């Protein structure tokens, strides 16, 4: 269990032992379930989505109960990412990853086109090339919804508190 004295507990990515509680919070988040229903059943009437809400929640609880590590979460998300890439692109290519030493740390900087997809695609390319996935910086100004915070921290994100004020001594 993670220590309560961790000064970075509210901004760092989740550790493996924190995954079950984070998944539970996510599955019980009405906004998250609503977003899934809107995406999956976008052409269905709202009464149908209301009926499906508890079913989707139970399905996710059962499906995600076995996920107990960040790596397991990323492997699960990879399936959805691959489906999305299959439907929305003609393919994604990466070059130069074979030039990277797998035991060396690197800093990747994106052009910030999409807050979720940039790191997802970087991690996907790294994973496909048998590299470790990266930690991702995200500003707290982009995390207005609790479910967004949960999802990002489950995917190795750490939060940059843009509203934080420095203290002069």
Position 141 scores a pLDDT of 86
Query: Would the pLDDT of 169 be above 80?
Result: no
Residues 146/25, Cβ–Cβ less than 8 Å: yes
Q: What is the pLDDT of residues 50-87, one digit of tens each?
A: 999 999 999 999 999 999 999 999 998 899 899 999 99
Position 2 scores a pLDDT of 54
Q: What is the pLDDT of residues 7-52, one digit of tens each?
A: 999 999 999 999 999 999 999 999 999 999 998 999 999 999 999 9
In angstroms, rounded to a whole number, what is the distance separating the alpha carbons of residues 18 and 13?
A: 10
Helix (H, G, I), strand (E, B) or coil at 159: strand
Position 165 scores a pLDDT of 74
pTM for this one?
Answer: 0.82
């Amino acid at each position: 269990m993670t220590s309560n004295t961790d000064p970075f507990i509210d901004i760092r990515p989740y550790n493996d032992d924190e995954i079950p509680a984070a998944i539970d919070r996510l599955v019980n988040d009405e906004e998250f379930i609503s977003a899934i229903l809107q995406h999956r059943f976008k052409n269905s009437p709202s009464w149908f989505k209301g009926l499906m809400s508890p079913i989707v929640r139970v399905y996710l609880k059962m499906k995600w109960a076995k996920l107990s590590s960040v790596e397991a979460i990323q492997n699960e998300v990879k399936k959805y990412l691959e489906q999305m890439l299959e439907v929305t692109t003609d393919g994604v290519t990466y070059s130069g990853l074979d030039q990277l030493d797998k035991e060396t740390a690197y800093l990747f900087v994106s052009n910030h086109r999409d807050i979720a997809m940039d790191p997802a695609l970087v991690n996907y390319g790294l994973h496909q090339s048998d590299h470790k996935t990266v930690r991702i910086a995200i500003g707290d100004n982009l995390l207005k919804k609790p479910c967004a915070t949960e999802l990002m921290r489950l995917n190795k994100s750490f939060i940059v508190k843009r509203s934080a004020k420095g203290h002069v001594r």
